[in-house]
Structure 1
């Protein structure tokens, strides 16, 4: 069959499927694109000729945002279905890098198809080609190599066959998935080749569920039985494996409390007796106290990042040991853990049977459940709206409280950066396994709006909220236009606090005095401490096609959120927040996070911060 390379690739992708637990899914359900001279006559023409029934097309406005939208879609689909993203050469391709890093860090599949410079080099250099004197075979697309799980450059049409098969394999791999890049020179995209029919045959990629090794399982069971104060930390692997029911059954059988990372929050609903909330720097007091005293930590489906381990200061029991329950052996061995390398659902089910009849001491169970109830009272206090404040601007925690009173298990909340991830991890009451969608592996500003679009495409009919601060909004609002174009009724909540409030607070804590973090005019001494900038984010969102509801008070906000939830078009709620006070603000961090402080300084704030840094860093442990 004679087709161009681009036509063959699109036809190949349209015939790829994943299968897990007897259910099939399109591997690549749609392709995002912005067309330029690197792909308009290749992939663009191929998508047009193949048609939307075989390969739906979505028109984006920013290459990075298209990747974020694809990540949101794939995460909502349990990584069983993904999107492709095509770009031109040059700036279009390099704009993909941030999104690719985010996908790979979070282990979410996305296929990147950037155009590339001519393989045949008819003219050298061509437009947007970066000349590298010591290497003629490099292009800007090589910046995608370190952030891709698989990378290949298709310099001959026939090279597409093995590369496309490898790309599909990695996209469907539950361990090694992430960004997959096939760089496509623009001349090769349009070159014809006689393709074997088998290349376009329907192909199903089975997503495996490896069971645990018998010896590793027996060792883990012995550790569970011997532990007096065990704690399970649920990471994103619980969600990716759809292991929530297995986790609940394990917790109910053993009484072991379950804390969660940002990616794992929602693995148990907030009102499950064993759920003790987020763990680590942004965690709850309940979970962090359990972690400090735990003699056994079962790290299930988590990468154990510095936020989770409080930069290696959280697990303070001298006798603490770890079980690394993970599909990836690299993660399973972290903190010198006893590895339990397996699919999370299979491992939790088999471990529950292996410890049948064992349960933690009643006093331990009673104590952590009492601590959990105490924490919930602190959440109620942070969320509270006294009658006297109904006409006042909201705190950020009160915004979350109003949402908490409005949503049900169908709603999905999306966030990634700023101070909101910390407040959400500590305070949010997740009602369903997929309600809490906080991207904190890369914590990428600008993720929320496009991810909400991709998530809504994967979950039609469900209310999807993008929660952003003013700093994040200004980074990347472009896919509002796409949501309007496609009629996807995402709900955007903009919290305007006139600057980078999260990093401003961190700066103050580490002796930086909030330098360079406010959105203000320069004052008399040249610092950014003058009046707030006259930026109207609500007007901007309206100019991009959104319905916008401005609010000034808590009473306004309560009505606006309900109106947005019921809306059938993209709708924005704009709120200017006030600085939280000690009554209505969220509780402070319950564990440390290592941000280095100047070892020598003349300003008093930095000197004090260094003293506190040295005190906290002294608690750091290496678990061996």
Structure 2
């Protein structure tokens, strides 16, 4: 048997120096030497690799990581995971905390391992978050077809599981021959570090090609810098936007995630302090302006506050900054009600800048654009009357939140009380992490963000199961902050196994698990559309009715589940002191240096205050159920308020 060592060689005497390496070895070492530069800030683009190994990658990526760890310890750290989807969630959690300057690579084996990452790919792309995916593929030579876990589609033998990543990725390629790895790796890095194009980046790696050798130019393995683009606004679009703002009577800003990723929080504060323009934030924009800033009206849209939604309803000019304008942000196009409302959309991506038919797009970096607009509006401000209206609505909503946070003394507290207790026991720099269920809506309205990176709600994909894995990624990216993961029992059951990762690596996260024996969010939504909470409760199957609508709850003990993983677990018993006990538990968890799960029961029928937003979920046009008939009538009334929003 001939063993080819990875070693420097010289081809042709005076030619470029090369090293004989496998494709996987070359790719791993290449990734270890990539750097992102953002102004004066420089950091590793790919600081580590998550991997779950199978026959598709154990001899390729797995061997390469082990060899590099042996030869150059610490150059490319490897981290275990318990689920391939969770690897990508951890990468996204990290990436957001690093303002999209870096992310992790996630390596999976052939077939089911690769397929498990599809949800993560969709989440990364929907959130405009960089994530590098390295799914393994079947033999490029096809010498052993069909291999274990290979698809066989008679109409196209070349299609494999990895092809499913194509529509979910911002970049996809497959290394069919060893020498392709050079151009593919460079192209992948370009997309990962492009603020306008970033998302899931997928490099499919056939298992045989991973282990094949090639001559690798040393230049490919040298440190390489990728400078983030911060495009300046063009003069003409900028002047048109400024003129539109000056002409507006009731302008409003919608601050999205682009404010955070650009590091434009100070620039946004400077603009609104100079002009008095109010701000409503999307989920991704939480933290772009701190909660107690006079111009911050809180979340906007379907899960927004009355303050933001009432001011938005009268706005004659909407200044969208780094927002995708999702249906939740626009309340399914019902939140902006003023006739002739105009949109100025500031976004690094033209795709988002042109939304709602605007004729006033500014395709540029958020921070650079805000600074330019502020300079031009030093002599302009909203009217005193509008300023008083803004202050009144903010004060009124703040009082509503104060009341919602007051303990009720009920044996089973409502979710608003639980949020208030967690908020009151946390520190300003703590990070709240959430993704799915009723919690995102309640947090959007109620959580008082006290740090620009303190609010981490994944809501572009709202992926059940993101919370714990994403929280681990957040903590890994910000080890000096406490990370508080709030999760309902439905989402917890989707992907709780990453608690083992937290225990294995000593990663401290605080998980507040709210037990309500079912899907609280969809249960409420089911009621509003007339479906009577069908299929949303965890109950025993009724053998006679053949449904799960009875009163016999399942004997689920999720606290015991967490404890079995080695996680410190605190159980809050139902009773009048539940909220006080929760506060004490959060305080104790913050003082500890290990992962802690706090289990508390809640009443899913106690809802947070209404923010006067709406979400378009179509109701059956015809039904024999009176509940559905009633819901259809209400739906048509709300639908009549929708506007095309052509600006």
Which TM bucket (shorter chain)? over 0.9
- Given the alignment, which residue of 15, 22, 43 partners 1:4? 22
**CA offset digits 1:121-171 (Å, max 9, x no partner):** 111111000011122221110011111110000011100000000001111
The aligned counterpart of 2:52 is 34
- 1:565 maps to 2:587: no
- Taking the TM superposition and a 5 Å limit, the aligned residue runs for 1:508-547 are 508-523=527-542, 525-528=545-548, 529-547=550-568
The aligned counterpart of 1:416 is 435
1:393 touches 1:554 (CA, 8 Å); kept in 2? no
| 3-state secondary structure, aligned to 1:306 | coil
| 3-state secondary structure, aligned to 1:82 | coil
C-alpha RMSD of the superposition:
1.0
Return the alpha-carbon distance in structure 1 between the equivalents of residues 293 and 613 of structure 2: 24
- 1:402 maps to 2:421: yes
Number of residue pairs aligned between Structure 1 and Structure 2: 618
Return the alpha-carbon distance in structure 2 between the equivalents of residues 248 and 70 of structure 1: 30
- Given the alignment, which residue of 240, 263, 274 partners 1:242? 263
| 3-state secondary structure, aligned to 1:405 | helix
1:522 touches 1:530 (CA, 8 Å); kept in 2? no
The aligned counterpart of 1:129 is 150
Greater shift, 46-55 or 278-287, is seen at 46-55
Return the alpha-carbon distance in structure 1 between the equivalents of residues 583 and 217 of structure 2: 61
The aligned counterpart of 2:487 is 468
- Taking the TM superposition and a 5 Å limit, the aligned residue runs for 1:4-403 are 4-51=22-69, 52-337=73-358, 338-386=360-408, 389=409, 392-403=411-422
CA displacement at 1:589 relative to structure 2:
4.4
The aligned counterpart of 2:610 is 588
**CA offset digits 1:403-458 (Å, max 9, x no partner):** 11111222000000000000000111000001110000000000000011111010
**CA offset digits 1:248-306 (Å, max 9, x no partner):** 00000110001100000110100111100000000000100111100000011000011
Return the alpha-carbon distance in structure 1 between the equivalents of residues 188 and 644 of structure 2: 38
2:520 touches 2:604 (CA, 8 Å); kept in 1? no
1:580 touches 1:586 (CA, 8 Å); kept in 2? no
1:379 touches 1:586 (CA, 8 Å); kept in 2? no
Return the alpha-carbon distance in structure 1 between the equivalents of residues 282 and 52 of structure 2: 35
2:309 touches 2:611 (CA, 8 Å); kept in 1? no
| 3-state secondary structure, aligned to 1:36 | coil
**CA offset digits 1:184-228 (Å, max 9, x no partner):** 001100001111111112110000110101010100111111111
1:417 touches 1:440 (CA, 8 Å); kept in 2? yes
CA displacement at 1:50 relative to structure 2:
0.8
Where in structure 1 are there 5+ consecutive unaligned residues? none
The aligned counterpart of 1:480 is 499
| 3-state secondary structure, aligned to 2:96 | helix
Return the alpha-carbon distance in structure 1 between the equivalents of residues 561 and 245 of structure 2: 55
CA displacement at 1:546 relative to structure 2:
0.4
Return the alpha-carbon distance in structure 2 between the equivalents of residues 522 and 555 of structure 1: 36
Return the alpha-carbon distance in structure 1 between the equivalents of residues 412 and 536 of structure 2: 22
Greater shift, 277-286 or 137-146, is seen at 137-146
- 1:620 maps to 2:642: yes
CA displacement at 1:53 relative to structure 2:
1.4
CA displacement at 1:19 relative to structure 2:
0.3
- 1:574 maps to 2:599: yes
**CA offset digits 1:338-397 (Å, max 9, x no partner):** 1011100000000111222100001111111111011011001110015xx1x7332111
2:255 touches 2:321 (CA, 8 Å); kept in 1? yes
The aligned counterpart of 1:446 is 465
CA displacement at 1:530 relative to structure 2:
2.5
Return the alpha-carbon distance in structure 2 between the equivalents of residues 592 and 450 of structure 1: 30
- 1:606 maps to 2:628: yes
The aligned counterpart of 2:444 is 425
| 3-state secondary structure, aligned to 2:571 | strand
| 3-state secondary structure, aligned to 2:336 | coil
**CA offset digits 1:54-104 (Å, max 9, x no partner):** 100000010001110111011111111110000000100000000000000
Return the alpha-carbon distance in structure 2 between the equivalents of residues 401 and 591 of structure 1: 21
1:297 touches 1:322 (CA, 8 Å); kept in 2? yes
Return the alpha-carbon distance in structure 2 between the equivalents of residues 299 and 379 of structure 1: 26
| 3-state secondary structure, aligned to 2:249 | coil
CA displacement at 1:522 relative to structure 2:
3.0
1:35 touches 1:87 (CA, 8 Å); kept in 2? yes
| 3-state secondary structure, aligned to 2:60 | helix
1:413 touches 1:437 (CA, 8 Å); kept in 2? yes
User: Cα 1:82–1:432, aligned 2, differ >3 Å: closer, same or farther?
Assistant: same
Return the alpha-carbon distance in structure 2 between the equivalents of residues 526 and 332 of structure 1: 50
User: Cα 1:589–1:609, aligned 2, differ >3 Å: closer, same or farther?
Assistant: farther
CA displacement at 1:556 relative to structure 2:
2.0
CA displacement at 1:520 relative to structure 2:
1.0
1:85 touches 1:113 (CA, 8 Å); kept in 2? yes
CA displacement at 1:551 relative to structure 2:
0.4
Where in structure 2 are there 5+ consecutive unaligned residues? 1-18
**Following TM superposition, where does structure 1 have runs of at least 4 consecutive aligned residues deviating by more than 6 angstroms?**
none
CA displacement at 1:555 relative to structure 2:
2.7
Greater shift, 192-201 or 423-432, is seen at 192-201
